[in-house]
Amino acid sequence: MYKKITTRFILGSMTKEIELLFSIRQGDPQAMNLFLVNMQPFLAYLHRVLSGIAIGGLQQKDTDYVDDVNVISTDTGDLLKLDQAFLDFESFSGTVLNRSHKSKIMGLGEWRDRVNWPLPWLRNCTSLKIFGVHICQDYLATLHTSWDHCLTGFNNCLLSWSSRNLPTLQQRVFVMGTFAMSKLWYLGQVLPLPKKWLTKMEKRVRSFLWLGRLEHLSLDELYAPVTLGGLGLVSIGAKCDALFIKQMCRVLATGGQTRAHYKYWLGLSLRDTFPEMAGGPNSECLTPYWRHCSSLIKEAVDLGLVDPTSLGRVKTKFIYKELISTPPPPKVTYKFTRVEWMVAWKRLDSPVLDGKGRDLFFSFLNNIYPTKERLLRMNQHPTGFCEFCRGVTEDVLHLLTDCAKSRNLWVFVKFFYWLLVDNFSIIMLSFAKFDRKNAILFLLSNYALFLHSMRTQKEFDLICKF
């Protein structure tokens, strides 16, 4: 890429110039390690010569990751020092700074509206993307811009999956958790998730999850595992809080300059919880960001989610589990109180049921299957009566057991295993224990799927012939 590049080695003494004819390419196994060795002297030099900015006795100068160099300073003279340092580094390393659109500068405070800088090749911006976070000239803009870009990626991912054939709720929950929500977790570790953006994300989750279905359940009912009546859907708000708490604990446990910033901003507000943070200079006023950090870590300690004496052992999984440990029970449990719901939910999670069968019985148990009775309540049907049984309301129990077109087949299914219990208990999977429970579940699943696929007059006639 670059011609006439030479280098020297220190082998007891300085060697003669050696012309470089090839170099490590991106993707080579040792490329990252060798590049870091190459950059380390330059970054150490920057840290030594730049003035930076003083915050509570701390001197913040630069934050770097591989080839991404970010400098903050209150002295414009640091720009000239930085430019000279790059020129010197380029002359002997062969590394070349991109002085076009990739080199940017943003003014803060009194320099907010400044457009002229000592280095004319710097591109003036109102926001900078640093390590995946869109840093703007004020906190709220940073918060909203970063989450807006994150929401865009989240929406685009769900949009790309919307055209796929995902007939069951479990499949859609898996896709959201694996591909879409994973785009949120990085930012959730370092920035609070505002209620406005959380509401937008949950709205998008609902529209994707219930696509093509008439009746919905609230998201709060779906956060619980299947064995408790939910779908194991990840709660975005709780997961972001858990990740944020874990990140704070990691910083407080490992030390370094980032912990020193935490100590300065949070020392006074957390002195009762973390006495070692109270010493030294501390800020008496908290900005909105640090106020959120303080309240969140205090709440975690009060709830027993975090032990101040063992911050390094805090696990995101444990915090998240505790934050959603008391989800509201499904509303249907209050309507049908005689159902053994713990038995029903456990059987719904049986490996005997395939995805479609489990999805169908999930609709039955939660009373959201689109029978004529349910359609009448949504003004989607004129009477709510079964089209084969004159004057009889079609609910799930009638559809599966009492309808003129399915009654004979149901009698065969019921007495095939000699199920001498009421029909309602069988349909709700809350019948008493049987030796051949798995066989019964398999038979019920296939029976329900068969009826579900035969909803037209012509196809119901096939059942009578059978």
Segment 266-285 shows an average pLDDT of 88
Q: Based on the structure, what is the number of domains in the chain?
A: 4
Task: Judge if 82 and 201 occupy the same domain.
Answer: no
**Half-sphere exposure of 320 toward its Cβ, with a 13 Å CA cutoff?**
19
Segment 275-279 shows an average pLDDT of 84
- Which range has highest mean pLDDT (240-244, 260-264, 336-340)? 240-244
Task: Judge if 226 and 151 occupy the same domain.
Answer: yes
Task: Judge if 350 and 292 occupy the same domain.
Answer: no
Whether the Cβ atoms of residue 200 and residue 158 lie closer than 8 Å to each other: no
Residue 343 lies in a domain: yes
pLDDT of residue 246: 96
End residue of a domain, out of 288, 323, 358? 323
Residue 425 lies in a domain: yes
Segment 205-234 shows an average pLDDT of 93
pLDDT of residue 2: 56
Residue 363 lies in a domain: yes
Residue 298 has pLDDT above 90, yes or no: yes
Residue 249 burial (CB < 10 Å; 0-12/13-18/19+)? Answer: buried
Residue 387 lies in a domain: yes
pLDDT of residue 265: 93
Residue 463 has pLDDT above 70, yes or no: no
pLDDT of residue 128: 93
Task: Judge if 243 and 224 occupy the same domain.
Answer: no
Task: Judge if 148 and 187 occupy the same domain.
Answer: yes
Residue 1 has pLDDT above 70, yes or no: no
Task: Judge if 439 and 361 occupy the same domain.
Answer: yes
pLDDT of residue 18: 83
pLDDT band for 466, please (50, 70, 90 cuts). very low
Residue 23 has pLDDT above 70, yes or no: no
End residue of a domain, out of 214, 234, 254? 234
Residue 458 has pLDDT above 80, yes or no: no
Residue 102 has pLDDT above 90, yes or no: no
The identity of residue 305, as a single letter, is L
Pick from 348, 368, 343, 369: which is nearest to 444 by CA?
A: 348
pLDDT tens digit string along 312-363?
999 999 999 999 988 788 999 999 988 999 999 999 999 999 999 999 999 9
Whether the Cβ atoms of residue 8 and residue 15 lie closer than 8 Å to each other: yes
Domain range for residue 50? 6-125
pLDDT tens digit string along 401-457?
999 888 888 888 877 766 677 888 888 988 877 668 888 899 899 999 988 887 644
Residue 134 lies in a domain: no
Segment 133-162 shows an average pLDDT of 96
pLDDT of residue 457: 44
Please enumerate in sequence order all residues whose Cβ is within 8 A of that of 199, keeping only pairs 6 or more positions apart, or say none.
none
Task: Judge if 290 and 411 occupy the same domain.
Answer: no
Task: Judge if 368 and 438 occupy the same domain.
Answer: yes
Average pLDDT score over the chain: 89
Task: Judge if 184 and 227 occupy the same domain.
Answer: yes
For the beta carbon of residue 301, count every other beta carbon within 10 angstroms. Answer: 17
Q: How far apart are CA 460 and CA 466, in angstroms?
A: 10
Task: Judge if 149 and 192 occupy the same domain.
Answer: yes
pLDDT tens digit string along 208-219?
999 988 889 999
pLDDT of residue 3: 67
pLDDT tens digit string along 173-197?
999 999 999 999 999 999 999 999 9
Residue 8 has pLDDT above 90, yes or no: no
pLDDT of residue 175: 96
pLDDT of residue 461: 47
SS3 annotation, the chain: CCCCCEECCEECEECCCEECCCCCCCCCCCHHHHHHHHHHHHHHHHHHHCCCEEECCEEECEEEECCEEEECCCCCHHHHHHHHHHHHHHHHHCCCCCCCCCCEECCCHHHCCCCCCCCCCCEECCEEEECCEEEECCHHHHHHHHHHHHHHHHHHHHHHHHCCCCCCHHHHHHHHHHHHHHHCHHHHCCCCCCHHHHHHHHHHHHHHHCCCCCCCCCHHHCCCCHHHCCCCCCCHHHHHHHHHHHHHHHHHHHCCHHHHHHHHHHCCCCCCCCHHHCCCCCCCCCCHHHHHHHHHHHHHHHCCCCCCCCHHHCCHHHHHHHHCCCCCCCCHHHHCCCCCHHHHHHHHCCCCCCHHHHHHHHHHHCCCCCCHHHHHHCCCCCCCECCCCCCCECCHHHHHHHCCCCHHHHHHHHHHCCCCCCHHHHHCCCCCCCCCHHHHHHHHHHHHHHHHHCCCHHHHHHHHHC
pLDDT of residue 22: 67
Q: What percent of the chain has pLDDT over 90?
A: 62
pLDDT of residue 455: 66
End residue of a domain, out of 275, 299, 323? 323
Residue 147 has pLDDT above 80, yes or no: yes
- Residue whose tokens read 């935490």: 262
Task: Judge if 95 and 167 occupy the same domain.
Answer: no
Residue 354 lies in a domain: yes
pLDDT of residue 464: 41
Residue 93 lies in a domain: yes
- Which range has highest mean pLDDT (127-136, 277-286, 324-333, 426-435)? 127-136
pLDDT band for 67, please (50, 70, 90 cuts). confident
Residue 133 lies in a domain: no
Residue 229 burial (CB < 10 Å; 0-12/13-18/19+)? Answer: buried
Task: Judge if 257 and 150 occupy the same domain.
Answer: no
pLDDT of residue 462: 40
Pick from 90, 95, 120: which is nearest to 105 by CA?
A: 120
Q: What percent of the chain has pLDDT over 70?
A: 95
